A and B are shown apart, each in its own frame.
Chain A
Amino acid sequence: MRGNAGVIWMSIVALFLGVLAVTQIKAQDVYTRSLELETPSSLTTLIANLAERNNALRDEIFDMKLRTEAARDDAANGRGTLTEAQRQLAQLRVFAARTSVKGQGISVRIDGAFDDKALSDLVNEMRNAGAEAISVNTVRIGPRSYFGITTDKSLTVDGSAIRGPWTVSAVGAPEVMYVAMTRTGGIIGQFELIYRGTRFNVSRESALDLPSLANPPRG
């Protein structure tokens, strides 16, 4: 009897061990990402970003409804839709970088060592802050632009070498973009820590003139 009891207890303990081992292995499962694991601070930033995007979408929907109605009326009354077509063409030429543009915005002057990855990150950050048109010195960034670096440390945009110092200009809401660049822990702060000898100067600009894309890609 005593021998049987021992076997039973051993079996129970072994069973628990098995269950716990499996549970623990599952608990230490692969690193996974999900919204549930984000901190309240990250979630708040995500929410602000989503809300901002949704507001931009709502504004454009409102505008598009008015334009669609106006174009429908014009077409029905035989007036044609030239005005709407011209308006759309102007908007698309800006969006596709097929026209030179003017407007307010910001400039980031970079004087010292810098590289193509950092330039790509800066352009990405400007786009996230709502930049509508961007140029590096006199070269306009297009929808398919790519960045590189030459052996003599010149940066390249779409294969064209641009020697430093570089001025990256962006047309858009000046205050929004300025704050996005210069906030604590923001991209300029990170650059200042990484490229210690390089000077970064961010300024609000009331009137920028940006060229059009030099060689629009085909296809």
Chain B
Amino acid sequence: MATLTARAPRRIGAPIVLILPALLFGLLVSVQWRTQLERSELSVRYNAPLLDAARSLQSEQEVLKKQLADLRAQLDEIQRGAASQSTASRDLQAQIEDLRSAAGLTERTGDGVQIVLDDAHTTVTAPAANVDKSICHSTDLTDIINAAWRGGAQAIAVNGERVVGSTSVYCVGSTIMVNGTLMSPAFTISVIGPQNELLGAYDDPNELKDVKQRRDVYGLGFRVTRASGLRVPAYAGALNVKYATPTER
């Protein structure tokens, strides 16, 4: 009897020790299964062909932009050669070059500031309102660009896309398009211009209030630094002037 009573706690003890890990095991299996189920629901029937189409169009756009840039360079070379023939041609060519620079059709290099805008490292399980405040939106980019022009910027590029008079920053779902090019965070905004004035514009407490508040509270990535030797590429998209007719000579 003494032996039996001594053994009984040992038989019960081993399963008790295993209950806690087993419960945890079950919990984790269940959570893991649910997570994978939610993800597989996203992969609906049409996503694969649509993704292929979007990627293919994006690649095609890069090729088309390259072709257009090559043609612009060829035409420019022909005109430069012909411009030497008469004073009228030389004057016209000088005006064209001035306007090309003003319109953002030539590469720029120089000092300025660089801004990095990035999503906060928020878990996908965070409340939707918090996720919304901790990620970058297209309006953050337009506000940053607006502040740069106010600070005297001469040239701006967002992830290598030159900002010009026709530039739009467009948001579809969680994807942002600049000049029709698909982009995801982090965004690097290169701004060539007077450094002190630009830094002053970004330091102004009335500028980018929302972005700064979301940086401080939700961890949104927003950093402005002085930068030297920046390179801002030429705009490579279409000029798309079809409906507007100049009325000045």
Chain A residues within CB distance 8 Å of chain B: 6, 9-10, 13-14, 16-17, 20-21, 23-24, 27-40, 42-47, 49-54, 56-61, 64-65, 67-68, 71-72, 74-75, 78, 80-82, 84-86, 88-105, 117, 120-121, 124-125, 127-128, 130-133, 141-148, 171-173, 209-210, 212, 216-217, 219
Tell me whether A10 and B21 are in contact (CB under 8 A): yes
A116 to chain B, nearest CB (A): 8
A29 to chain B, nearest CB (A): 7
A49-B180, A97-B165, A101-B246 known; A91 vs B92 contact (CB < 8 Å)? no
Tell me whether B99 and A92 are in contact (CB under 8 A): yes
Tell me whether A132 and B241 are in contact (CB under 8 A): yes
A-B contact pairs, 16 of them (CB 8 A): A27-B32, A33-B185, A35-B55, A43-B47, A44-B50, A47-B50, A50-B182, A57-B68, A64-B71, A80-B89, A92-B96, A93-B246, A103-B245, A127-B167, A132-B240, A133-B244
Q: B22, B42, B75, B167: which contacts A67 (Cβ < 8 A)? A: B75
Tell me whether A20 and B238 are in contact (CB under 8 A): no
Q: A46, A52, A93, A148: which contacts B175 (Cβ < 8 A)? A: A46
B232 to chain A, nearest CB (A): 13
- Measured CB to CB, the nearest residue on chain A to B239 is A95
Q: A45, A53, A217: which contacts B172 (Cβ < 8 A)? A: A45
| Docked complex: B87-128 residues within 8 A CB-CB of A | 88-89, 92-93, 95-96, 99-100, 102-105, 119, 121-126
Tell me whether A24 and B28 are in contact (CB under 8 A): yes
Tell me whether B72 and A64 are in contact (CB under 8 A): yes
Tell me whether A127 and B166 are in contact (CB under 8 A): yes
Residues of A within 8 A of B245 (CB): 94, 101-103
Asked if B217 lies at the interface with its beta carbon under 8 angstroms from chain A, I say: no
| Docked complex: B214-249 residues within 8 A CB-CB of A | 237-248
Residues of A within 8 A of B65 (CB): 57
Residues of A within 8 A of B123 (CB): 28-31
- Measured CB to CB, the nearest residue on chain B to A34 is B184
Complexed CA–CA distance, A147 and B184 (Å): 26
B102 to chain A, nearest CB (A): 5
Complexed CA–CA distance, A53 and B237 (Å): 9
B178 to chain A, nearest CB (A): 10
Proximity bits, B148-168, A CB within 8 Å = 1, else 0? 011001100000000011111
Residues of A within 8 A of B238 (CB): 53, 56-57, 59-60
Tell me whether A31 and B131 are in contact (CB under 8 A): yes
A53-B237, A99-B247 known; A38 vs B64 contact (CB < 8 Å)? no
Q: Is the interface of B mostly helix, strand, loop or mixed?
A: helix
A56-B240, A171-B243 known; A147 vs B146 contact (CB < 8 Å)? yes
Complexed CA–CA distance, A127 and B146 (Å): 15
Q: Is the interface of A mostly helix, strand, loop or mixed?
A: helix
Tell me whether A54 and B82 are in contact (CB under 8 A): no
Tell me whether B89 and A82 are in contact (CB under 8 A): yes
Residues of B within 8 A of A14 (CB): 21
A43-B50, A60-B239, A65-B71 known; A89 vs B85 contact (CB < 8 Å)? no
B222 to chain A, nearest CB (A): 17
Residues of A within 8 A of B6 (CB): none
Complexed CA–CA distance, A14 and B119 (Å): 35
Residues of B within 8 A of A173 (CB): 242-243
Residues of B within 8 A of A212 (CB): 248
Complexed CA–CA distance, A128 and B153 (Å): 22
Tell me whether B175 and A64 are in contact (CB under 8 A): no
B116 to chain A, nearest CB (A): 16
Tell me whether B168 and A125 are in contact (CB under 8 A): yes
A17-B25, A89-B92 known; A42 vs B72 contact (CB < 8 Å)? no
A95-B241, A121-B142 known; A16 vs B25 contact (CB < 8 Å)? yes
Complexed CA–CA distance, A217 and B173 (Å): 35
A40-B47, A85-B79 known; A100 vs B248 contact (CB < 8 Å)? yes
Q: B60, B125, B150, B168: which contacts A128 (Cβ < 8 A)? A: B168
Tell me whether A6 and B122 are in contact (CB under 8 A): no
A53-B237, A61-B67, A68-B74 known; A13 vs B25 contact (CB < 8 Å)? yes
Residues of A within 8 A of B86 (CB): 80, 82
Tell me whether B64 and A120 are in contact (CB under 8 A): no
Complexed CA–CA distance, A185 and B123 (Å): 29
